[in-house]
Structure 1
Amino acid sequence: MLAAALAVTPIANAAIPWFDNNKQETPSLAPMLEKATPAVVNISATGMKQNKQQIPEVFRRFFGQNAQPRMQEQPFQTAGSGVIIDAKKGYIVTNHHVIADTDEILITLKNGKQYEAKKLGSDSETDVALLQIEAEDLTDIPLADSDKLRVGDFAIAIGNPFAIGQTVTSGIVSALGRSGLGIEGYENFIQTDAAINSGNSGGALVSLDGKLIGINTAILGPHGGNVGIGFAIPSNMMNNLVKQIVEFGEVKRGVLGISGDNIDAGIAKAFDLSTSQGAIVRQVFEDTAAQEAGLKPGDAIISINGKAVNSFFELRAKIGTMGAGATVKLGVIRDGDKITIPVTLRESKGDNIKASVIHPALEGSELTNGKTQDGQAGVEVKALDKRSAAAAIGLQQDDVIIGVNRQRVENLADLRDKLEDQNGIIALNVVRGRSQLYLVIR
């Protein structure tokens, strides 16, 4: 009786795409991984960075109290993963942060062969970079349509965690369209519980049929350890960026020219909407793609090219990764009617981002990569709300941030990295016109 109670009905082999009846007695991911893993590579990159050599207080009387620290170059090395997406052309996708500021990039294939890589282009705001190697008999991974993913789909992460060698972990798609995390400027992440650790950055997130659904990018967890919350850049988003890098050598970001908010239950009620997901248009800026197409404040954008949009963050990320000149069809609810509005995106005038994604104290300012009057690279305050947190600490429009706690800052990626490393009081070194000053964030 006990045996009968525990009996189960066998599952038909044909229903399991990764079940090999001729070689396996039990279901296995091995047949799929044998095809996919050769397309995932290890990346080792080296470069030089400048560090300030502080002058000890005991020697300051010899050099003067205003003596500046000496800049000293020191070598550094990074390690990560990458994915071959075009075997014939030798294209490899990885994360920008894996190869940022490096001079030499070494690719190691699964079979142990090594090649020097050339950097074709990268984008710090989406953390995507494209490399190229000259090699024969490479294996690439076909791309999946990441817009068709569903929560609960199986996901397999392949990469090089802690530089111990190629490792495979499995899980599911835990969530889609994750944003507002402050990890990147444009966020539309796939969340997965497949184990992702340091070194997995730039590796592959694949489906059960061996197609690339995402590029592993970040984890949420104490001390950099895996707690089952990992994030990947969707393959469609990555592919849009790669096409621009191949054609232009850089990302020519498309922009709509609106400000907006996520649609939630409160906004849905206020605007009498039948949906609580999407993006509500708060303002349409003059001389923009949105104004030219006829978008209006109060429009609810619920889809792009027929695919649902769940939030303003997702809308911004998808638009921001489509190239300038692309025409998209926006599904809009206006006065209770569903309409479709075609929009031809214009090119961004700069990598402007809302500073709140970098640090809460900078909320209300809009930042972009810029230069001081004497040509120093830094982060320019492009726009500022005078009633904002950023204005309260003393920032003004046209200020250029060149340092954080006496560490040099040259661009938005630098600023984000430096602020993430700081605890307690933060001193921003700002150039205003021809003068320098410090602004304190407590």
Structure 2
Amino acid sequence: MNKKLSLVGAAVAASLMLTAAAPAEARIPFFSNQQEMPTLAPMLEQATPAVVHISVEGSREVRQRLPEAFRYFFGQRGPNEYREERPFKGLGSGVVIDASKGYIVTNNHVIQDANDIEVRLKDGRTFKAKKLGADPESDIALLQIEAKNLVQIPLANSDKIRVGDFAIAIGNPFGLEQTVTSGIISALGRGGLGIEGLEDFIQTDAAINSGNSGGALVNLRGELIGINTAILGPNGGNIGIGFAIPANMMKNLVDQIVEHGEIRRGSLGIRGQDVNSELTEAMNLKVSRGAFVNEVLPDSAAAAAGLKSGDVIVSMNGNKISSFIELRAKVATLGAGREATLGILRDGSERTVTVTLRQSSSAQVAANQIHPMLDGAELSNNDGGGVKIETVASNSAAAQIGLLPDDVIVGVNRQRIANLAELRTVLEKRSGVAAINIQRGNTNLYVLIR
């Protein structure tokens, strides 16, 4: 054994002496001049022009605690806080998903409350962007710019990605444009984090920092697999735990905004919980992950499809379901009217059911997304046609022009409108004053907005 070690040591020493003695130009490179070094550069040259820099300006209502000295003048029942509008500026990222129509996807929190949205392309061109719609629950927003020669990024099927796949994040962290970081997919179907209302995140260790929000997470083909949206770390810094909204989830939401002018939230009509070890033992289940159905609501999509309490939903459209939170997010973002094939476990046997999702009762849109003078109202598509006023906040712009709950907007400038998408389109194309035709009970009236 000692003789072998001596021989190895002598060989290593000789190797080190030869290396030290050889001139730099004589050293053998790791890759020969004829051998191409592995690089992501060609893919990134195609993908990075589709990732844009977004800067916003606006104002937000800020609540401040009223000093005790001032409260004295109001008496003991005086207010303990006051509100004021404060200007703000922000930076983020976005992804061009349709070059011909100028569609750009970003996070809702990037452009929320913004009065002015500016998009800067990789080639240096800048454009004012128009907000077409947003979904605060899933943190997705759709913008549009009028520009030629845009580059769009192709979409991957995010349901097919796996833990361990390589991932590259492209964005503008801290305002540093066109920054690229790499890593792998660390986990799928992350939820219950309390970051968004609907969570079905891709987790990655590719470095994501402030300003990456709304940027692209791509695979090695340069296809979009997710929209970077959040990080987990002290003081907002990267610690290798970042989250992205899956591309399929984003596309479902964007399609709804384009088609309907709103998010038509899908509803299954069940109450349930995650499958855990206690439930598995108590119910003698053959699975350890999934969504357990506690109750099927009457007159719901689930009831019509034949789902029963005690069922365990283990897949949706061929993709595994790990938790009730993941199922809820997939159903809600797939949208009302869409069909879903659910794999269920019932009495120890596996079977599939097809369900047509119904519209959630919470499927409403803030009216300021349609027009500033409608601010303070919540709108939804009316079953009989037109746009229904669900609620009107007191002292809001909508209240001041005379809108009331249960009013139905049936036309603009004598042009009939059938839904929110048509209302948005007509108001965007108008010039000057718009006459909003309101159906209030058995009465027709007009409200003027500028």
In 1, Cα distance between equivalents of 2:134 and 2:244: 17
Query: Which residue of structure 1 aligns with residue 253 of structure 2?
Result: 241
Amino acid at match of 1:285: L
Structure 2 residue aligned with 1:228, among 228, 240, 244? 240
Residue aligning to 1:121? 133
Offset, 1:113: 0.7
Cα gap change, 1:338 to 1:159, in 2 (>3 Å): same
For residue 338 of structure 2, what is the aligned residue in structure 1? 326
The 1:373–1:165 alpha-carbon spacing in structure 2 relative to 1, beyond 3 Å, is closer
Aligned to 1:321, the other structure's residue is in SS state helix
Q: Compare CA radii of gyration and give the structure with the larger one.
A: 2
Q: Percent identity?
A: 61
Distance 1:292 1:87 in 2: 41
> Could you give the per-residue CA deviations for residues 336-358 of structure 1, whole angstroms, max 9, x where no partner exists?
22111110000000169xxxxxx
Q: What letter is aligned with 2:326? A: E
What SS does the corresponding residue of 1:177 show, helix, strand or coil?
strand
Cα shift at 1:168: 0.3
Structure 1 window deviating more from structure 2 (46-55 vs 237-246): it is: 46-55
Q: How does 1:28-427 map to 2 (within 5 A)?
A: 28-52=39-63, 56-62=67-73, 64=75, 66-68=77-79, 71-350=83-362
Cα deviation 1:388-431 (Å, max 9, x = unaligned): xxxxxxxxxxxxxxxxxxxxxxxxxxxxxxxxxxxxxxxxxxxx
Give the aligned CA root-mean-square deviation in angstroms: 2.7
Q: Equivalent residue for 2:444?
A: none
Counterpart of 1:135, as a letter, is A
Whole-angstrom distance in 2 between the partners of 1:281 and 1:304: 14
Gap change, CA 1:300 and 1:54, over 3 Å in 2: closer
Q: CA deviation at 1:48?
A: 1.4
Q: TM-score, normalised by structure 2?
A: 0.72
Hey, what does 1:436 align to over in structure 2?
Answer: none
SS state at 2:279 partner: helix
Per-residue CA deviation, residues 168-210 of structure 1 (Å, 9 max, x unaligned), is 0000000111111011111110000000000000000000010
CA deviation after TM superposition for structure 1 residue 60, in Å: 4.6
Distance 1:62 1:205, change over 3 A: same
Please name the residue that 1:395 is paired with. Answer: none
**Are positions 1:25 and 2:33 aligned together?**
no
Give me the whole-angstrom Cα distance separating, in 2, the residues matched to 1:203 and 1:373: 34
Change (3 A) 1:266 1:60: closer
Q: TM-score normalized by structure 1? A: 0.73
Provide the C-alpha distance between the structure 2 equivalents of 1:188 and 1:153, rounded to a whole number of angstroms: 18
Cα distance between partner residues in 2 of 1:196 and 1:30: 20
Task: Give me the whole-angstrom Cα distance separating, in 1, the residues matched to 2:393 and 2:134.
Answer: 27
Amino acid at match of 1:33: L
Deviation at 1:25, TM superposition (A): 2.9
Cα shift at 1:269? 2.9
Could you tell me which runs of 5 or more consecutive residues in structure 2 were left unpaired when the two chains were aligned. 1-10, 16-31, 365-389, 398-450
Distance of 2:255 and 2:35 partners within structure 1: 40
How far has the Cα of 1:375 moved from its partner?
8.0
